[in-house]
Structure 1
Amino acid sequence: MNDKFIKTQALYSLIDWEPFVLLGCLLAITWIFYKFFLQAASPERHTSIRSQFQALFRHFFILTILFVLFIVLHTTTGGDLANFARITPYIGLMTFVWGSIVFVKTCRLLVLQYLFLGSMRAGVPLLLVNIFSLLLSIVLTVWALSQVFGLDLGPLMATSAAFSIVLGLALQDTLGNLFAGISLQIDKSYEIGDWLEVVQGVQRATGQVKEISWRSTILVGFSDEEITLPNRTMANAQISNFSPDGHPIVRSQLFRIPYGCDLQKAKDILERAVVEISDIRGLPAPLAYIQETNENWVAIKVIYFIDNFGGQFTIGDKVMRKGIDALRANGIELARNVIELHSKSGPIHEQNS
């Protein structure tokens, strides 16, 4: 390999102890950042980050072997190793490429950990991290082609303008979804783990955000079904976020009490029973009030506040069972519909349902 295809002197100047040590320091900083700032992350996040560190350490170990081999071959001027001088540029090129990979992966992991600071429990979308990795890889590749191979990319970029236009038209929908996803993340309309209700026209979808990719946002519904919505749809839809911090979700259950019962006592029983459920907030406290009456019963509605939108049906079941048991323990049964049939001489039939 000679300077006709590759600038060996430029390549050799890039493969030195100083860049290698700086890359090792960057990896160490990334590890220290994880140990000191991400201890409160969820177990799933710890597992994910540690697996990425393991892969990164393996890449750095391979880089170290290549770097040491290059240094030995490059600094040897005589002896048996001098016969391997012809492969030195190839080893140098492999070392440079592998070092670039380690650099991109380390920066990617550092950015990922920084984003984790704002979302310890649920995680962060890979969209932003992937875009950062792609842009960094493109910049590094263009720079390497210019410095190491001596390619002038100016004319090439000029002649590819027509191709870029055709490619842009072909990828119009994909690019639209990509930029819509970026704008949604910049606006922080929602994050991974949030419960959303997405309404566009007559279409409605409710679920928890699982992932935000290049093209779409993936929700998981109440029945564990995956709902894939294009990012352009998300950007144009009406989104209700039920997971903002400090804003509990209000829900209610209705209890029908027969006439003749002590209504104030029934309300107190229901409020005390509901507040004992661990999934329900103590503040604001549950509130029971008379909502309506008819010829068969008095309806008491219990309002309570929860944080887990996805568990609202399970919590509602607990509220209903706990309320019924508390009322029965105090001698109060739920009301029933009563149907009476009358003749001219008086009632002839009575049915309870």
Structure 2
Amino acid sequence: MAEKFIKIQALYGLLELEPFVLLGCLIAITWVFYKFFLKEASEERHRSIRNHFRTLLRHYIVLSFLFLLFIFLQTSEPQIGTVAKITPYVAIVTFLWGNVVFVKTSRLIVLQYLFLGSMKHGVPLLLVNIFSLLLSIVLLFWGVTHVFGLQVGPLLATSAAASVILGLALQDTLGNLFAGISLQLDRNFEIGDWLEIVSGIQKTTGQVREITWRSTTLVGFSDELITLPNRFMANATISNFSPPETPIVRSQVFRLAYGENVELAKQVLERTVAGIGEIRGIPAPWAYVNESNENWIQIKIIYFLDNYGSQFNVGDKVLIRGIEALRAANLKLARQVIEFSDRTVNHEHGKF
């Protein structure tokens, strides 16, 4: 019965010891790559990769059992007639399971390679999923042709009309998919980057959490989840506030009473702001006078951050500690002054 659907000799030729050993060696090489090149990955990334390896190991153990069972049945086939009926089915299950292990191993290799460029925040699974899908499709077509003897070319040609209908039905989904691929190829942002997305009058700010087939997920300042379709992202204006080696510039102003020691105030503010842990030491904070009038002298302190998301918390510390430091140095802060003039109206002459 199996001979009608399966090219048994071709299938048995694929299930030899050499491909099984090579697959095991590929898994071992993947593990060595992880141990030597991903030592500096974050703990969250280590847990993720180790989970992938545990899953892969379970699949390889199942494959080993199926392969040994196939070898046993194949060697017992001449002696036991009943075994001959089930051996092809065990072989096809072993072949399919081997393809699954190969796809998972290749997927893990690609995932680890991408981790090399982003060990801190991780990588989007979109590219890895697309690679796994394409590899699975290639193996499926190859297996159908060599094991089942079916010609895939004519089958694809006759399904052209169905493909057009399916493409129209999935127009939005495919648009988001290809937009997501385009965003990843351009690499304008990565997971963990702080973005400001502007489209018309709509503006969204958040940190990239995940990039999927359909959408990009951000986490806002209040820890709210923001999901934006990839097509929307591709057509919007995106400002990235997390480029490497480029700090975030922020400032705060302080108003001193007119006549206070300006140089001392600048030194106090620079020293105080430099002592806040989230603020970069290089470039160092610096202060200057940017405005003055008869009531006050305004000093602006410039400082630099690495994390865009911490700007409000750091700004609060700069303002509070700056005021406390100025008061501790006996420097008087300015107050709003409103002067009233007492004038008498001369009704007789109609003048003030």
What is the TM-score when the length of structure 1 is the normalising length? 0.94
| Ranges in structure 2 where 5+ consecutive residues have no aligned partner | 345-352
- Conservation of the 8 A alpha-carbon contact between 1:196 and 1:240: yes
Is 1:76 matched with 2:76? yes
Q: Deviations over 1:68-102 (max 9, x none)?
A: 011011012455x6543321111111111111100
* Aligned match of 2:3: 3
* Aligned match of 2:186: 187
Supply the distance in 1 between the matched residues of 2:165 and 2:289 (Cα, whole angstroms): 66
Is 1:330 matched with 2:310? no
- Conservation of the 8 A alpha-carbon contact between 2:77 and 2:83: no
* Structure 2 counterpart of 1:192, one-letter code: I
* Aligned match of 1:174: 173
Q: Deviations over 1:26-84 (max 9, x none)?
A: 111111110010011111100101001001000000100010011011012455x6543
- Conservation of the 8 A alpha-carbon contact between 1:180 and 1:231: yes
* Aligned match of 1:51: 51
Is 1:266 matched with 2:265? yes
Is 1:200 matched with 2:199? yes
Supply the distance in 2 between the matched residues of 1:113 and 1:296 (Cα, whole angstroms): 62
Supply the distance in 1 between the matched residues of 2:206 and 2:2 (Cα, whole angstroms): 59
Supply the distance in 2 between the matched residues of 1:326 and 1:115 (Cα, whole angstroms): 47
Supply the distance in 2 between the matched residues of 1:2 and 1:114 (Cα, whole angstroms): 41
Moved more, 261-270 or 285-294: 285-294
Q: CA deviation at 1:138?
A: 0.4
> Per the alignment, in what secondary structure is the counterpart of residue 73 of structure 2?
helix
User: Following superposition of structure 1 onto structure 2, how do residues 116-265 of structure 1 map, counting pairs within 5 Å?
Assistant: 116-265=115-264
* Aligned match of 2:31: 31
* Structure 1 counterpart of 2:318, one-letter code: V
* Aligned match of 2:347: none
Moved more, 279-288 or 32-41: 279-288
* Structure 2 counterpart of 1:55, one-letter code: T
Supply the distance in 2 between the matched residues of 1:98 and 1:294 (Cα, whole angstroms): 80
* Structure 2 counterpart of 1:196, one-letter code: L
Which runs of at least 4 in structure 1 moved beyond 4 Å after TM superposition? none
* Structure 2 counterpart of 1:35, one-letter code: K
> Per the alignment, in what secondary structure is the counterpart of residue 339 of structure 1?
coil
Moved more, 169-178 or 332-341: 332-341
* Aligned match of 1:351: none
Q: CA deviation at 1:293?
A: 2.2
How high is the sequence identity, in percent, across the aligned residues? 66
User: Following superposition of structure 1 onto structure 2, how do residues 340-351 of structure 1 map, counting pairs within 5 Å?
Assistant: 340-344=339-343
User: Following superposition of structure 1 onto structure 2, how do residues 101-120 of structure 1 map, counting pairs within 5 Å?
Assistant: 101-120=100-119
* Aligned match of 1:349: none
- Conservation of the 8 A alpha-carbon contact between 2:260 and 2:332: no
- Conservation of the 8 A alpha-carbon contact between 1:73 and 1:82: no
What is the TM-score when the length of structure 2 is the normalising length? 0.95
> Per the alignment, in what secondary structure is the counterpart of residue 338 of structure 2?
strand
* Aligned match of 1:321: 320
* Structure 1 counterpart of 2:70, one-letter code: F
Q: CA deviation at 1:308?
A: 0.5
* Aligned match of 1:21: 21
- Conservation of the 8 A alpha-carbon contact between 1:280 and 1:306: yes
> Per the alignment, in what secondary structure is the counterpart of residue 303 of structure 2?
strand
- Conservation of the 8 A alpha-carbon contact between 1:6 and 1:148: yes
* Structure 2 counterpart of 1:28, one-letter code: A
Q: CA deviation at 1:254?
A: 1.1
Q: How many residues are aligned here? A: 344
